[in-house]
Amino acid sequence: MSDLNTLQATLSALIDPNTGKDFMSTRSVKNLRLENGVASMDVVLGYPAQSQTGVIQQQIETALRNLPGIASTDIRVSWQIVSHSAQRGVALLPGVKNIIAVASGKGGVGKSTTAVNLALALSAEGARVGLLDADIYGPSQPTMMGVADQRPSSPDNKHIEPIISHGVQTMSIGFLIDTEQPMVWRGPMVTQALQQLLNDTLWQDLDYLIIDLPPGTGDIQLTLSQKVPLTGAVIVTTPQDIALLDARKGLKMFEKVGVPILGIVENMSVHICSNCGHAEPIFGEGGGAAMCADYGVDLLGQLPLALSIRQHADAGKPSVVAEPGGQVAQIYQSIARKVAAKVALRAQDFSAKFPKIVIQND
């Protein structure tokens, strides 16, 4: 007959497909019981998994029902997203639990498209998500989110309300300027504007804030990575050697300021002909995997060079919302779950648990 030790041993051998770790070592299993042949438990994940609850429930049920003496199971799967630690000396942002930067060393690799679909995929999994367009010189998120004609309101003339589109809270300099007006600003002005957008936006209880960083590794990116409380960064590249050279610089920049790399997304990995189905790696192949091997980080996913991705983004309905059941959307959702799971495995931030200590001279 099985007992609680047997159940724990079985669960220790089951690997969560999103974290790559077993359910016991991640302390996901709560209230484990075995009474009258009924095995019951709560499985509390640290990442949003709306599309995965049934899969995980079935995975555990199948394993437990093969044990002697288990007549039935009662498994409840849920998730709880908490704040995780950022760089030392950088305070967390009010109303935001985790901030994830999406960056690239080079422009034109699909970073903004990846950022918007990552935000929408996390939202589709059940998280409360915000999206900050940090590209002052070329803001594209208002167009991609289908809200380029909207303007944010201010309840007190000091703070601004984010624009909500597809369930995601969005803020961009593109909401505040004429789309045809070039931003002829120097670095310090851009940095100040971004900090105002970040700190003066009334973010409403976000589990994740995705920041679409401008391309490059200059003063703007370095200042932001030092002053914004980042939980981690996602690097976007293509398999092309030139893009990989710049992506490596971006990765090194985050390492120098103590921001963990959550993984690499390889964009435009292969082109599939819409007429004949022929697959061809136009920008090369294996570059993202080789970079991951060199730096000991994970390849989160590979996206094809697909016409639909561009069309959906231009139309204001990115792939995750335009074709939620499509292959491209499924890849983005898999990337989003991996990113959230990696955040969940990081050290939690307990600063809010401790009282502030004030020393006064009497």
Pseudo-torsion of CA 59, 63, 64, 67, nearest 10°?
Answer: 170
The three-class DSSP label of residue 324 is coil
Q: How many CB atoms lie within 10 A of CB 231?
A: 26
Q: Please tell me the distance from the alpha carbon of residue 222 to that of residue 190, in angstroms, as a whole number.
A: 12
**Average pLDDT along the chain, 362 residues, taken 10 residues at a time:** 85 91 92 91 93 92 88 91 85 91 85 95 96 86 92 89 96 81 72 86 96 81 82 91 85 87 92 79 84 92 91 94 94 96 81 50 52
Write down the residue that tokens 């100040």 correspond to: 192
Could you tell me which residues come within 8 angstroms of residue 361 by beta carbon, excluding any fewer than 6 positions away?
none
Report the pLDDT value the prediction gives residue 107, as an integer from 0 to 100. Answer: 79
Report the pLDDT value the prediction gives residue 66, as an integer from 0 to 100. Answer: 83
Q: Please tell me the distance from the alpha carbon of residue 11 to that of residue 157, in angstroms, as a whole number.
A: 54
Report the pLDDT value the prediction gives residue 16, as an integer from 0 to 100. Answer: 92
**Integer CA distances (angstroms), 275 to 8, 72, 271, in order:** 52, 51, 12
109 annotated as ligand-binding: yes
111 annotated as ligand-binding: yes
112 annotated as ligand-binding: yes
130 annotated as ligand-binding: no
Paired with 236 in beta bridges are 265
Q: Please tell me the distance from the alpha carbon of residue 215 to that of residue 320, in angstroms, as a whole number.
A: 23
Q: Please tell me the distance from the alpha carbon of residue 149 to that of residue 179, in angstroms, as a whole number.
A: 10
Report the pLDDT value the prediction gives residue 88, as an integer from 0 to 100. Answer: 78
Report the pLDDT value the prediction gives residue 359, as an integer from 0 to 100. Answer: 55
Report the pLDDT value the prediction gives residue 355, as an integer from 0 to 100. Answer: 47
256 annotated as ligand-binding: no
Q: Please tell me the distance from the alpha carbon of residue 130 to that of residue 122, in angstroms, as a whole number.
A: 10
The three-class DSSP label of residue 304 is coil
DSSP 84: B
Q: Please tell me the distance from the alpha carbon of residue 59 to that of residue 20, in angstroms, as a whole number.
A: 14
- Domain annotation for the chain: domains and CATH numbers: 4-79 (3.30.300.130), 96-344 (3.40.50.300)
108 annotated as ligand-binding: yes
20 annotated as ligand-binding: no
Report the pLDDT value the prediction gives residue 121, as an integer from 0 to 100. Answer: 97
Q: What is the pTM of this model?
A: 0.90
